[in-house]
Chain A
Amino acid sequence: MPEPTIFELSSPGRQGAYFPEPDVPRTEIPEEILRDNLPLPEIAEVDVVRHFTRLSQLNHGVDTGFYPLGSCTMKYNPKVNEQTARLGGFAKIHPLQPVETVQGAVGLMYELQEWLKEISGFSGVSLQPAAGAHGELTGVLIMRAYHKSRGDHKRIKMLIPDSAHGTNPASSAMSGLKIVEIPSDARGNIDMDALCAECDDTLAGIMITNPNTLGLFEEKFMEVCDCVHEAGGLVYGDGANLNAIMGISRPADCGVDVLHFNLHKTFSTPHGGGGPGSGPVGVTAELAPFLPGPIATVIDEGGEEEPPLYGLVNPENSIGRVKAFHGHFSIMVRAFTYMMMLGGEGLKAVSEHAVLNANYLQARLRDTYKIPHDRICMHEFVAEGHWEDVPDVHALDISKRLMDFGFHPPTNYFPLIVPEALMIEPTETESKETLDAFADTLIQIAEEARTNPEMLQTAPHNTPFGRLDEVKAARELVLCCWFPEEEED
């Protein structure tokens, strides 16, 4: 049953929140600056609560069920994170307060920077970027600034593997770079010959996701980095898949020069129905002077009695701000809480079990679904959602049918290099029972594809909504609610 829109629930004269009468004398407001009408809805508090509660019930979240959305790391979001982020000392501080009054907050940022360095092996971290793609743009701008600082102006070429997230080429293009796509080889690795052929003196660098979007660790990762470095290029690491390698392999040790972290993937901060995320950037010592500020730092070490004094500084050759203020601070608090609880050993266990879970699911599905690059995977893997004997059933149908059993579908039709891709990332927080139930369901769906394909093609059946008409939405654009007629005031 669709929920009425908030405008349809409106009745003139209702209100859901009230404010006191002014305790100061009123000042006349000049007529010419005033608006004529304000067509916002009018609703009582209880009905606002019911409306948004009912809406929430139409959503699938990690809290309601398994969410194996590849490349998104939909792990459990610990409840305590929500509690710590809302502590008064974090939620009620203004970003422009004197730094002496926010030593706890700046100190937390400093520690978080240090911990991210420790996990990745980098020398510098800026917490400013707001999300993964924002971190990418920041990283690419840093690479550009580095080359330019050396008078090396002809480096305008960015190599991007064909398995990359769409944000990689988009971020490079925003920085004015020319994108050259590098194909993958039969084992799902970057094609070395194609790569080396492009490594010349116009090379700015490469954007590489490792493990890649097939869930595979690049078998010649060090060679790729060496080849790019020898040509004078830099290696950008897309940290979207960091959940596979914490305490196992450090990007900086392998030759990565810049990397963004996704605090909302790897470090358990919630995805919020599409953000907010947080996309800190880590860099080598050589690139650290270019980081966007402000960066939390120790101004004075303090002593036995005195705590250290923290401050916020701008690196000397900073590319400049990428947003207002200091980044998504309350997301940092959540990630910090998570890392504090896990510690170094715990984070390593996270990655080990993320990889264990993915390999287990892959093993359970291997006989039913084609795994085009079938080897030990990392934290995710890609299967084909299509069989030759039932050509009219597609990955989309399998995805929609999964919803009938209470599962969120995997990422589908990505990466682009696998036809009918189903990209499955279980994460470490799922139990064997959940994985088994999911595998059993996928196996049952494969059987249904043969016995009752229509069941898949018309799915979902048990959800509050059937398939939505996306073509109609794009053709007959309706982008906002119908406003009720303005009544005379």
Chain B
Amino acid sequence: MFLPHTDADREAMLHTIGVEKIEDLFKGLPEKRLFPEVNLPPGVTEIEALEELQHISDANETTGELISFLGAGAYNHYTPAVVDSILLRGEFYTAYTPYQPEISQGTLQAIFEYQSMIVALTGMDASNASHYDGATAVAEAVNMAYHNFRGKRQKIILSPGLHPHYRETVHTYIVDSDIQIEGEDTPLEAGPEALIPLIDEDTALVVVQYPDFFGRVHDFSQFVAAAHDAKALVAVHVNPLTLGLLKPPGDFGADIVTGEGQTLGIPLAFGGPYLGIFATRDKYVRKMAGRIVGETKDTRGQRGYVLTLSTREQHIRRERATSNICTNQGLLATAAAIYMSLLGKNGLRQLAELNYHKAHYAAEQIASLKGFELAYTEPFFNEFTVRCPKPVSELNADLIHFDILGGYDLGESHPGLADHMLIAVTEMISREEIDHFVEALKEVTNA
């Protein structure tokens, strides 16, 4: 399968090499268990493989069939047909990292445009070419801030409003360093002001999420001023789609913006691959991890693009590199670039407003049900937290019979919030579906 060799080819090639048979090429290997039996099912042709994969695919219930109110870091949005149609061009998806710029200008310019649109969206000065996902982008922000102060500031403050998976990832990454993490146990209700007393001259970075994990849009002006008074850096983690509407973090003083770019035209796909966004101010560009594309000229005087500032990177700097990242999310950054180009200035605003209105309609309807209320009073975008009269696990088990995937059960990540549901409403949900959800909630709580 996928091998073009004929018997005659093999024979001629072995002859040129000067051995009799293919096995002779492996003579130098440890004899112990050479050529082990590989106990996989026997190979099949494409027609059989497709049939089997279709069968496995059919064993899943999808957000296409169910009405999904699940978000919590991954959102069901519409991707215009153009995005996938371009991604399927072999010139894009079968290339690798653009080490040879003369024959990689397609990838390089697409990434350069991605960086530019991320800058426009976040209000930062520069963006890298991507990280693996939102979680690892946050972990790299922690790394960068720590090294920015040459290890002299060892405290990192994480907001309790930061996605629990991201916080866990940060803990995994820093386990062998002398970084101390604080802030995660500050009261949820208090908002970013609760972090201010923790900020001191030992603080390298404070990480907040905007809107936060619970959907809340905070005003960070007081908090950022306090962090900057202590000369600490501030990282704001975003869902980029919300920035179609909301003030960009650059406007309120963020030093680093990380983001989960899945909402920019990338399918849910059971959690990945997604897109880690990372942008910062000019003065930190040389400390940023990851690939960066820069503009230059070629020998013919044409404008072109190359990977730049590579002396920060592992293939040059080895153990002194800013990060070990090599392969990143090139194709997904390209997807995001195509998506943002299509929607543009007006489309993104229109989509953001659509999400806002639908979510607010849903919130109002649900809050009017007996026993349900909105858990927080802060503004929200397309996701909000509802206190329910029954444990969410029970509600969701019942809702599935109405073909509804209920919102995220906050009890799974926050044991004290077992009766709190995090509900996301996107452009994929119609008014009838919201009404159906509200009716279903009413029914399953009346029982």
User: A227 at interface (Cβ–Cβ under 8 A)?
Assistant: no
Indicate if the CB atoms of A479 and B292 lie closer than 8 Å: yes
The listed residue (A42, A337, A460, A465) touching B49 by CB distance below 8 A is A337
User: B284 at interface (Cβ–Cβ under 8 A)?
Assistant: no
- The residue in chain A whose Cβ has the minimal distance to the Cβ of B13 is A360
What 1/0 flags go to B18-32 for Cβ under 8 Å of A?
A: 110010011111101
Given A64-B90, A104-B57, A356-B22, verify A89-B49 contact (CB < 8 Å): no
User: B374 at interface (Cβ–Cβ under 8 A)?
Assistant: no
By a CB distance below 8 angstroms, the chain A residues around B120 are 38-40, 483
Complex: A85 Cα to B297 Cα, angstroms = 38
The listed residue (B61, B326, B334) touching A273 by CB distance below 8 A is B334
By a CB distance below 8 angstroms, the chain A residues around B324 are 133, 136-137, 167, 170-171, 173-174
Indicate if the CB atoms of B3 and A403 lie closer than 8 Å: no
Indicate if the CB atoms of A468 and B101 lie closer than 8 Å: yes
Indicate if the CB atoms of B246 and A34 lie closer than 8 Å: yes
The minimal Cβ–Cβ distance linking A415 to chain B, given in whole angstroms, is 11
User: B401 at interface (Cβ–Cβ under 8 A)?
Assistant: no
* A301-332 residues at the B interface, CB under 8 angstroms: 319-331
Complex: A342 Cα to B44 Cα, angstroms = 7
Given A166-B318, A248-B35, A463-B103, verify A93-B334 contact (CB < 8 Å): no
By a CB distance below 8 angstroms, the chain A residues around B197 are none
By a CB distance below 8 angstroms, the chain A residues around B303 are 2
**Residues of A contacting B: mostly:** loop
Indicate if the CB atoms of A274 and B341 lie closer than 8 Å: no
Indicate if the CB atoms of A48 and B297 lie closer than 8 Å: no
Complex: A2 Cα to B296 Cα, angstroms = 12
By a CB distance below 8 angstroms, the chain A residues around B73 are 324-325
The minimal Cβ–Cβ distance linking A78 to chain B, given in whole angstroms, is 6
Interface size class on chain B is 35 or more
Indicate if the CB atoms of B42 and A56 lie closer than 8 Å: no
Q: Choose, from B153-161, B228-236, B262-270, B439-447, the stretch at the interface.
A: B262-270
The listed residue (A57, A268, A363) touching B91 by CB distance below 8 A is A57
Complex: A320 Cα to B37 Cα, angstroms = 34
Indicate if the CB atoms of A480 and B102 lie closer than 8 Å: no
By a CB distance below 8 angstroms, the chain B residues around A320 are 168-169, 171-172, 175
- The residue in chain A whose Cβ has the minimal distance to the Cβ of B364 is A27
Indicate if the CB atoms of B217 and A33 lie closer than 8 Å: yes
By a CB distance below 8 angstroms, the chain B residues around A460 are 102-103
By a CB distance below 8 angstroms, the chain A residues around B148 are none
User: A414 at interface (Cβ–Cβ under 8 A)?
Assistant: yes
By a CB distance below 8 angstroms, the chain B residues around A53 are 86, 89
Interface centre among B163, B169, B341 (most CB of A within 10 A): B341
What 1/0 flags go to B263-282 for Cβ under 8 Å of A?
A: 00001111111100000000
Complex: A24 Cα to B433 Cα, angstroms = 11
The listed residue (A62, A132, A221) touching B30 by CB distance below 8 A is A221
Complex: A136 Cα to B246 Cα, angstroms = 38
By a CB distance below 8 angstroms, the chain B residues around A326 are 270-272
Further contacts, 6 of them, CB under 8 A, given A24-B434, A52-B89, A74-B96: A16-B80, A57-B106, A166-B314, A275-B331, A331-B272, A356-B13
Can you list 25 A-B pairs with a CB-CB distance of less than 8 A? A1-B302, A33-B245, A35-B248, A38-B349, A41-B341, A60-B91, A62-B90, A67-B96, A69-B99, A76-B2, A101-B405, A170-B323, A247-B35, A249-B36, A270-B93, A292-B172, A323-B132, A325-B272, A329-B269, A344-B42, A360-B17, A400-B102, A429-B2, A465-B302, A479-B295
